[in-house]
Amino acid sequence: MTMPGATFQYEQIAVRASGAVGAEVCEVDLSKLTDAMVAELHRARGDHGVLFFRDQVLSEADHIAVAERFGTINVNRFFTAVDGFPQIAEVRKEAEQTANIGGGWHTDHSYDEIPAMGSILYAREVPEVGGDTLFASMYAAYDSLSEGMRSMLCSLNAVHSSRHVFGARAERPAELSARLGNQAAATQDAVHPMVIRHPVSGRPALYVNPGFTLRIEGWTPAESAPVLAFLYAHASRPEHTYRFHWMPGSVAFWDNRATWHYAVNDYHGERRLMHRITLEGDALSAAVPGGGAPSRAVHAVGG
């Protein structure tokens, strides 16, 4: 079934596209999925980059069970887990805190040799006003580049790292230290093609992000900076993005290979509590045969 504005056909689910990125899945209870619905949701996530669900009632055990229908759970090594449920990362900001987690454009786990496929984020407590999440389409970002730029990028790889975000030398507000940890695990860098072929949709997608990309492989940081700055500004143009407003019981299921996201920090004095489960992904491949090398891990001296 399709809803107005949709451009993809599905038989088991009703989907309303949100523009360049994202789609709302209507009248689906995530705790009662059939195998056929799971298969179509898997395809729809690849098509749209992120799927939105409303009015879900999920216990922690339900959340885990839903995630396991779509893949193997990645136990996040940096986030504080929910008590008794190590599979669920807690994304929390208390009313008296000022710094939030994810307050900048990024895609999760690009610093891993095999990045996580995506995450299922469930809203447990949200502010009355604010606390939205922005999403950006890396399909649209790639498609709207010039032919010359696309050709150049398809021949290049980029270096990604977690060290400057989660490592011992990372600069971050002290109040985030209680919500993030395990700094010793932030030592591995990874190299990925700058344009990947999405493993589900087959579409080319830009694969760099401001949060974790350090430089273009084989280029100096100074040489890389203007190209990356252009790509970051281009990818986050309004026509490539969608702003999702959370309500209690809302779920966003995004694909890291096709999107960026940005948690807007505009709800000071209110509490926001989200539960996130991340799923393991597949090795990335370049979008164009011969363009870029397969993803690989590198280890930096000195962490």
Cβ-in-10-Å burial (0-12, 13-18, 19+) of 261 comes to buried
Distance CA 207, CA 141 (A): 10
- Residue 146 β-bridge partners: none
**Per annotation, catalytic residue among 108, 112, 189, 255:** 108
Residue 106 is among the residues annotated as catalytic for this protein: yes
Residue 261 is among the residues annotated as catalytic for this protein: yes
Contacts of 152 (CB under 8 A, 6+ apart): none
- Give the residue among 94, 298, 93, 104 at the shortest CA–CA distance from 215: 298
Supply 180's token pair: 């993030």
SS3 label, residue 270: coil
**Per annotation, catalytic residue among 45, 261, 272, 275:** 261
**Per annotation, catalytic residue among 109, 197, 240, 276:** 276
Distance CA 109, CA 111 (A): 5
**Per annotation, catalytic residue among 106, 160, 179, 203:** 106
Supply 10's token pair: 């599905």
| Residues noted as catalytic | 106, 108, 261, 276
